[in-house]
Amino acid sequence: MSGRLAGRVALVTGAASGNGRAIALRLAREGAAVLCADLQVAPLAGGYDEGPPTHELILREGGRAAFRLCDVTDGDQVQAAVEAAVELGGGLDIAVANAGASPRSHDLVDEPWDQYELVVRVNQHGVWWTCRESVRRMVELGRGGRVIAIASAAGLVGTPTGVDYNTSKGAVVQLVRTLAGQVGRHGITVNAVCPGYVRTAMTRLIWDDADRLERVRATTPLPRLGEPEDVAGACFWLASDDAAWVTGVALPVDGGLTATR
């Protein structure tokens, strides 16, 4: 494929479904070779993704891609996924730490410890592992890079949802800001994309509840809620040369949700 990312190599975690699938497809359509990492190869059941696994769809469209089984809470598996990306395209230019968990929300007094622990392990520790292993390899390769972490609007403003989820996403925002200051001298940018309400398998309960959906829609100034392609577009921009001097930013992609909080 030709495109603005031709010749670059990307790693996308959580690439099987939702935002991760859309990000991987967009980067590939812009010319990047994409290593798709996830706990499973097929899209999540009950979601909105149709068709073959993400890497197979990229290959059918004439792009370069491969799949690697990866649990982002396991540092060895993340490191192996980074190496698989390097093997796929001869380097690592873009790393998107997208894999996340968003279980049913509870008030803190009712929030189960095992759920809190799982969410923090995936959303916070998983991003930490992905960022650390990707940056280590980018520094070794010596050609700079772009690191993009998927946080959330819930990491920027208070929302009446789960403390586990909001806390983990706030940590991602601070990780990005700190890491940007550490690796800028290596030509590596580090940014976060903070989606609002996006139509994925993780938010299916909202879309299936007409009353709840209307309440959510009322919080968003723009007249529609998000699609995974909105998140993918922001990630592409941050990976492109247009964002070469943008780092340490937590970019809301939320239809104006955080602007009105």
Question: Does 165 qualify as catalytic in the annotation?
Answer: yes
Catalytic annotation, pick one of 17, 168, 169, 197? 169
Q: Inform me whether the pLDDT recorded for 106 exceeds 90.
A: no
**Catalytic residue of the set 17, 116, 165, 197:** 165
Tell me, yes or no, if 169 is annotated catalytic. yes
Determine, yes or no, domain membership for 215: no
Contact 258, 157 (CB under 8 A): yes
Q: How far is CA 41 from the centre of its chain?
A: 17
Cβ atoms 37, 71 nearer than 8 A: no
Query: Which residue type does 13 have?
Result: T
> What is the domain extent for residue 147?
9-200+227-252
Residue 230 banded pLDDT, cuts 50, 70, 90:
very high
Provide the Cα torsion 75, 81, 86, 92; round to 10°.
Answer: -70
Of the residues 152, 168, 197, 240, only one is catalytic, namely 152
CATH number for position 154: 3.40.50.720
The count of structural domains within the chain is 1
Q: What is the mean pLDDT of residues 109-134?
A: 92
Q: How confident is the model at residue 150 (pLDDT cuts 50, 70, 90)?
A: very high
From the centroid of its chain, how far is CA 243? 17
Identify the pLDDT of residue 158.
84
Residue 67 lies inside a defined structural domain of this protein:
yes
Which residue's structure tokens are 């890491």?
A: 179
Q: Which stretch of 71-75, 182-186, 206-210 has the lowest confidence by average pLDDT?
A: 206-210
Average pLDDT over residues 48-56: 95
d(CA 69, CA 122): 15
For residue 114, pLDDT beyond 90: no
- Which has more confidence, 83 or 201? 83
Task: Inform me whether the pLDDT recorded for 228 exceeds 90.
Answer: yes
Asked if residue 180 belongs to a domain, the reply is yes
Taking only the tens place, the pLDDT of each residue in 180-203 is: 999 999 999 999 999 999 999 888
Give which of 6, 121, 110, 118 is closest to 64, Cα–Cα.
6
Q: Say if 79 falls within a structural domain.
A: yes
pLDDT at 43 over 80: yes
Query: pLDDT averaged over the chain?
Result: 94
* Residue 165 token pair: 């989820």
Average pLDDT on 93-104 reads: 92
Residue 240 pLDDT more than 80?
Answer: yes
Residue by residue, what is the 3-state secondary structure of the chain? Answer: CCCCCCCCEEEEECCCCHHHHHHHHHHHHCCCEEEEEECCCCCCCCCCCCCCCHHHHHHHCCCCEEEEECCCCCHHHHHHHHHHHHHHHCCCCEEEECCCCCCCCCCHHHCCHHHHHHHHHHHHHHHHHHHHHHHHHHHHHCCCEEEEEECCHHHCCCCCCCHHHHHHHHHHHHHHHHHHHHHHHHCEEEEEEEECCECCHHHHHHHCCHHHHHHHHCCCCCCCCECHHHHHHHHHHHHCHHHCCCCCCEEEECCCCHHHC
Residue 160's pLDDT band, with cuts at 50, 70 and 90, is confident
Task: Please indicate, yes or no, if residue 160 is contained in any of the structural domains.
Answer: yes
Over residues 58-64, the mean pLDDT reads 98
For residue 143, being part of any structural domain is answered with yes
pLDDT at 174: 98
Q: Tell me, what's the pLDDT at 261? A: 83
Kindly indicate the confidence band of residue 1, based on its pLDDT and cuts at 50, 70 and 90: low
Average pLDDT over residues 78-107: 93
Whether 197 sits among the annotated catalytic residues: the reply is no
Residue 219 inside a domain? The answer is no
Q: How much is the pTM?
A: 0.96
Indicate whether 90 belongs to any domain: yes
